[in-house]
């Protein structure tokens, strides 16, 4: 038997109802904040992620699914392609390529699969799903304003509340500008020098290539050492301090609670200034539901015009795990099971089903070959509210026996009144 590859899985009913509930809610919330959907390819040029995400990040150095294209066209041969491990770089690439600023568009969201070759664990898969949102644009459009940062955070608080997740925590930090990071990295190298040999292999590598990434470490034994390291708060310039202060003041004004975490960093090189995570206790040690931050230099790094931006990515797999709702609670069960009885009744049942579905009723069809007992068993198994009997006598009278399966109540309803009866609770 052929099974799904390691690190992937099939999303099956009724669980898919939860996913549809989340995605429908996401679209409603994004619409209220004037975000527009964008759909980018699931694979991109490898160079996009090397330049945008950072060659020294774990994603680029260890986790990407990359291959050399062997297309027939000469222009395709030898091109390195990668299944997207994240989508911010892809959205910014599309923003630049299609000059979306000329259309007055600067708020985008996407929902779709991402791919990383990492060790599968609870809520983490090699093919996983992300909900991304980005605000990108010229400074003249206000995209550099701390008000955009606060608006994104308020949107996320609204979204989590709307899907029913309570008890979340917003962790907030500023990772400064590139100049701040340069000074901070030097201080980190000095602080790490006498202790790095006691840390994990990844931290020893990061201490050389990019000390800032040490704060990404989740190894428990390394945490006491990390707790002694300097924080970037002492290296922020005046502009970054003022930006961060304004973000917090707006959050206070709209009553969004947050906790400052001076050791919070983002795992990708393009982040600047505001960095954040929303966490939830129901996910265990790896408790982040989503994260994001500001990336004011990413457009230029990808060959585009200056376009400050801020965005986030929600791990949809982990978000669904955090939901208090069960799949059964959001599944819409069939309103009626139509049971055709006798030769020629499939046609009559199909006509009736078409009429009822025009009223947005969920209808399941039986088959004229079924005995009545089998139709009742089938209706009960799928959780239908009613069963509707369609036989020669019913068709002749243009009135049908309708039975409520939970109560056992049975009535005869004229065809013209069926939809109204089924729509009533």
For 15-177+237-322, which CATH class?
alpha beta
Average pLDDT over residues 186-200: 87
**Confidence at residue 351, expressed as pLDDT on a 0 to 100 scale:** 94
**Confidence at residue 58, expressed as pLDDT on a 0 to 100 scale:** 66
> Which of 311, 288, 302, 318 lies closest to 110 in space, CA to CA?
311
Q: What is the pLDDT of residues 21-53, one digit of tens each?
A: 999 999 999 999 999 999 999 999 998 888 867
pLDDT of 123 over the 90 cut: no
Q: What is the pLDDT of residues 61-102, one digit of tens each?
A: 778 888 888 766 666 667 899 999 999 999 999 999 999 998
φ, ψ of residue 136 in degrees (nearest 5): -130, 140
Average pLDDT over residues 300-323: 89
Average pLDDT over residues 180-194: 86
Report the alpha-carbon distance of residue 348 to residue 300 in Å, rounded: 64
What is the CA 185 to chain-centroid distance, rounded? 32
Q: Where are the domains of the chain?
A: 15-177+237-322, 332-423
Is the link from the previous residue into 333 a cis peptide, with omega within 30 of 0? no
Strand, coil or helix: 338: strand
> Which of 278, 275, 279, 252 lies closest to 263 in space, CA to CA?
275
Higher pLDDT, 213 or 19: 19
What is 332-423's CATH topology?
Rossmann fold (3.40.50)
Report the alpha-carbon distance of residue 1 to residue 384 in Å, rounded: 34
pTM > 0.75: yes or no: yes
Strand, coil or helix: 114: strand
Compute the mean pLDDT over every residue in the chain, rounded to the nearest whole number: 88
Q: What is the pLDDT of residues 319-337, one digit of tens each?
A: 888 888 777 778 788 999 9
Average pLDDT over residues 230-244: 91
């Amino acid at each position: 038997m052929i099974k799904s590859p390691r690190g992937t899985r099939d999303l099956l009913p009724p669980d898919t109802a939860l996913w549809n509930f989340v995605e429908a809610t996401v679209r409603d919330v994004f619409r209220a904040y004037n975000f527009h959907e964008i759909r980018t390819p699931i694979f991109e040029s490898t160079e996009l992620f090397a330049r945008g995400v950072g060659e020294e990040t774990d994603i680029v150095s260890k986790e990407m699914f990359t291959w050399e294209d062997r297309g027939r066209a000469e222009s395709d041969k030898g091109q390195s392609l990668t299944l997207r491990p994240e989508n911010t770089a892809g959205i910014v690439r599309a923003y630049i390529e299609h000059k979306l600023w000329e259309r007055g568009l600067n708020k985008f969201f996407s929902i779709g699969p991402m791919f990383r070759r990492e060790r599968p664990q609870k809520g983490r898969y090699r093919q996983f799903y992300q909900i991304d949102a980005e605000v990108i644009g010229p400074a003249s459009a206000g995209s550099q304003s701390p008000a955009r940062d606060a608006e994104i955070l308020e949107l996320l608080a609204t979204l989590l509340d709307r899907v029913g997740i309570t008890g979340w925590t917003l962790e907030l930090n500023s990772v400064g500008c590139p100049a701040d990071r340069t000074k901070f990295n030097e201080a980190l190298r000095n602080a790490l020098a006498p202790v790095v040999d006691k840390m994990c292999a990844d931290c020893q590598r990061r201490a050389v290539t990019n000390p800032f990434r040490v704060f990404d470490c989740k190894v428990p034994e390394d945490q006491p050492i990390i707790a002694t390291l300097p924080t970037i708060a002492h290296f922020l310039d005046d502009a970054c301090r003022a930006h961060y202060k304004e973000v917090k003041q707006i959050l206070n004004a709209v009553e969004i609670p947050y906790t400052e975490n001076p050791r919070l960093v983002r795992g990708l090189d393009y982040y600047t200034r505001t960095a954040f995570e929303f966490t939830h206790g129901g996910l265990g040690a790896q408790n982040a539901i989503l994260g994001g931050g500001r990336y004011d230099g990413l457009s230029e790094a990808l060959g585009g015009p200056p376009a400050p931006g801020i965005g986030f990515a929600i791990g949809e797999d982990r978000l669904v795990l955090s939901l208090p709702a069960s799949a059964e609670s959001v599944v819409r069960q069939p309103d009626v099971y139509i049971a055709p009885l006798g030769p020629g009744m499939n046609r009559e049942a199909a006509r009736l089903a078409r009429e009822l579905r025009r009223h947005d009723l969920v209808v399941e069809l039986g088959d004229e070959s079924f005995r009545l007992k089998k139709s009742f068993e089938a209706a009960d198994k799928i959780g239908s509210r009613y069963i509707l009997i369609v036989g020669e006598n019913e068709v002749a009278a243009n009135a049908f026996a309708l039975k409520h399966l939970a109560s056992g109540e049975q009535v005869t309803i004229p065809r013209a009144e069926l939809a109204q009866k089924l729509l009533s609770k």
